[in-house]
Chain A
Amino acid sequence: MLLNNVVLQANEIRKSYGGVHALKGVSLTLEQGEVHALAGENGAGKSTLIKILAGATQADSGQIHLNHELITHNTPRRARSLGIGIVYQQPALFPDLTVAENIALAGESSSPWRRVNWKARRRLAAELLAQVGARFSPDALAGSLTTPEQQLVEIAKALDAKPSVLILDEPTATLGEQDAENLFRIVRQLQAQGTTIVYITHRFDEIFRLANRVTILRDGEWVDTCKVRELTRSSLISKMVGREVKSVFPAREKKTGGVALEVHRLSCRSAGLRDVSLKVHYGEIVGLSGLVGSGRTQLAECIFGLTAKDSGEILVAGKAAVLDSPRHAISNGIAYVPEDRRKHGLVLDMSIAANTTLSSLSKISHLGMLKLNIEHQSAGDFSRRLRVKTPSVDMLAGTLSGGNQQKVALARWLMTEPKILILDEPTQGIDVGAKAEIYALMNELADRGIAILMISSDLNEVIGMSDRVVVMANGEISGELSHAEATPQSVLRCALGYKECVLEGQGV
């Protein structure tokens, strides 16, 4: 297949880490001006492939041709100068430098002793920011920006090098609906200018909306490359997992009990929460939706005792509870799996076993002494039950893939035997198979009478999983919808702060 408009051709790329084959001879052809999606479960090799393209790691064998010229000795700097730009999933800016300085640093290629033309740099940064639709100043400190804003800076950084191929690694994983729309606009705009986009995502909607072609990887092998319009959702899923998946959201018979958790007129100025009230019953899954920055995570952190409230009450099983620290929350039967598991969810330098038991050390110890055999056994039981893919629970948690890390984080909190489980973006950035397992587990837990409060930016997930959806906007509850009332449109309307949805949705 020799096309004239081929921009990049990667042939038979192989890469192994230790004894694990991450890529077993994968090929990828990119045409000019296309949006090319990379799909596959976590661990399929997508990340490794793009790291090799961007020069962040070296392939064991295989060639990459850019504009029919072989790239040798690829490094991040070389890839950038040749026109391969990349935006990783997690923004990695220098928090104490300004946006303009961050952009300038990435583009700096001449002598380190050269005088810096700050005026020109600032102007350039402002132009790039305008191009990506950012509304903050180039003089803002990168650390003061929200994650979506930081991501825009990363895109601006990549665009600075005028790439012919731009790789976006799960760009919407941390974005709410509105910010995602802005990103789609940028992608289309770049495509119109002839830039080739490689787009990694776990969200099928985005593949069908944006991509022209999709390459599917599975377990480090190339499965298929096809035009998106020749695909259906289920055919794409079956190519990814190698089997038919009937329904992502398993059906469940709802049996709710009394009120497990009641938040009554809670306010917290530092977290931007105003007069928040909500109830979660035993055996109920309540979806907490809203745009990023609407106060969902802040509410969870307040309930879990990570931030102090100014006024209002939190009642656990009908009794007012003092929740000043995570320890109090845990002893009240509350568990919280935070959003950013890489940051706070797990101690990545500790073993899977130690992470599993970290919140229930008293259960495996006697007179302050740990019983390591019991720890090993119960951590093993949990990782089998949750199907954590690892040779041993003695492996460091940091060696696991995102989905498996999430399962270990869940295992830790299940070990505390919670009555109330708060999940913040439980399936963010994890693959379809692991998602389905986590959904099934949530249903199983709800069936056992646990009250679940699930924060999610994925509308399908909120609607598919929740018995009831509570929506937040600007630090307040903007609406409450029953399972029947919840549709992507109604939830989004509440999230954007329209008042009509409250009228139809109240009185649950």
Chain B
Amino acid sequence: MLGVAPEFFTAGNLRDMLLGNAPLLLVATGMTFVIIVAQIDISVGSLFGVTALACGALAKHGCPLALLPLVTMMLGAALGAMNAGLIAFAGVPSIVVTLATMVIWRELLRWVSGGAWIEGLPANFQWLGLGQSAGRLLIIALSFAIFLFLAWGSRYLWLARAVFATGSDREAARVAGVPVRRVVFWVFVLMGALTGLASFLNAVRFSDVPANSGLNLELKAIAAVVVGGTPITGGKGTLLGTLLGVALLGSLGPALVYLGINPFWEKAIQGAIILFTVPLDAFLSHRRQHEAVV
């Protein structure tokens, strides 16, 4: 890559890629915990759309800018809590719950917005009123700060230990006194909160909010987590892996442009990466396990 298209590695291009993928990083971070706790959330794309539109509408109707990130995050957390309650306490499988909410929220969005974009946002909305370069820096810094905190927390917070235990062997965790249902609940709430915040950080980059925000975001997030080495069966995984997954999948589109390959191939190559890395990981960990057995 360095040899073929050195201009790919210019500071401006790298910064744009960081910026474009910062929201995905936040969503994939939440998704990593969801998958580690042995669940799945395919509603995040729709949830992202709902919070993005709500954020735009609130800004348009005079909600103070300082409150906006907090409000979108809370809204995301509240929507996440709806998933969470049904999954953790009513015992409905997460794939069923989030499939339902994925459809419901997306349709609700279409119905409320009528497909119209939210335009005419206040002047200080874009780039948080800081101007482009400071706004960019803030978005990237905030995303990475949250990512780093959770990456640290996944090792040092006892809650994260409970997440790993629950995802690895739910019954054993319950016998050990881990409050497994509450753990699952809070993981989905975190997922919602991160998605809400991500939608805000994404929305402020543009002058209007499109009606179909977050479409297919769940696929990108799950792909990044899985490519990052977190097994879909849960109990294991690292946020560093997810970061690499986001970097790999997120840089693919721009890289193709620089290599002069038709961007039409992006999805196909993404699929190939998933198909190639996941079985490889399964194969390697299988072999490791077999060597460890005495």
Contact = CB atoms under 8 A, between A and B. Distances in A.
Interface stretch (B63-71, B94-102, B158-166, B272-280): B158-166
Interface stretch (A290-298, A353-361, A432-440, A452-460): A353-361
A372 interface: yes
B175 A306 contact: yes
B236 interface: yes
Nearest to A375: B161
A336 interface: yes
B90 interface: no
B151 to A, nearest CB: 14
User: Which of A326, A347, A362 counts the most B-chain CB atoms under 10 A from its CB?
Assistant: A347
B171 A343 contact: yes
A306 B175 CA distance: 7
Q: Is the interface of B mostly helix, strand, loop or mixed?
A: helix
Interface string B256-294: 000000000000000000000000000000000111111
B115 interface: no
Contacts of B177: 325-327, 329-330, 358-359
Interface string A292-335: 00000000000010100000000000000000011101100000
B178 interface: yes
A18 interface: yes
B169 A358 contact: no
A432 to B, nearest CB: 19
B244 to A, nearest CB: 22
User: Which of B165, B177, B178, B293 counts the most A-chain CB atoms under 10 A from its CB?
Assistant: B177
Nearest to B162: A361
Interface residues of A, number: 37
Interface string A492-506: 000000000000000
Contact of B291 (A17, A329, A346, A349): A17
Contacts of A368: 157-159
B172 interface: yes
A362 B179 CA distance: 13
A304 B292 CA distance: 34
B111 interface: no
Interface bin, chain B: 20 to 34
A255 interface: no
Contacts of B168: 347-350
A369 B158 contact: yes
Interface string B162-193: 10110011011111111100000000000000
Contacts of B159: 368
Contact of B294 (A326, A372, A399): A399
A392 interface: no
User: Which of A344, A365, A372 counts the most B-chain CB atoms under 10 A from its CB?
Assistant: A344
Contacts of B164: 350, 354
A404 to B, nearest CB: 10
B238 to A, nearest CB: 14
Contact of A17 (B155, B173, B174, B294): B294
A344 B293 contact: no
Closest CB pairs A-B (n = 5): A349-B168, A361-B158, A326-B177, A358-B176, A330-B177
Interface of A: 17-18, 20, 22, 43, 304, 306, 325-327, 329-330, 336, 338, 343-350, 354, 358-359, 361-362, 365, 368-370, 372, 396, 398-399, 401, 412
10 contacts: A18-B294, A326-B177, A344-B171, A346-B172, A354-B161, A358-B161, A359-B177, A362-B158, A368-B158, A401-B294
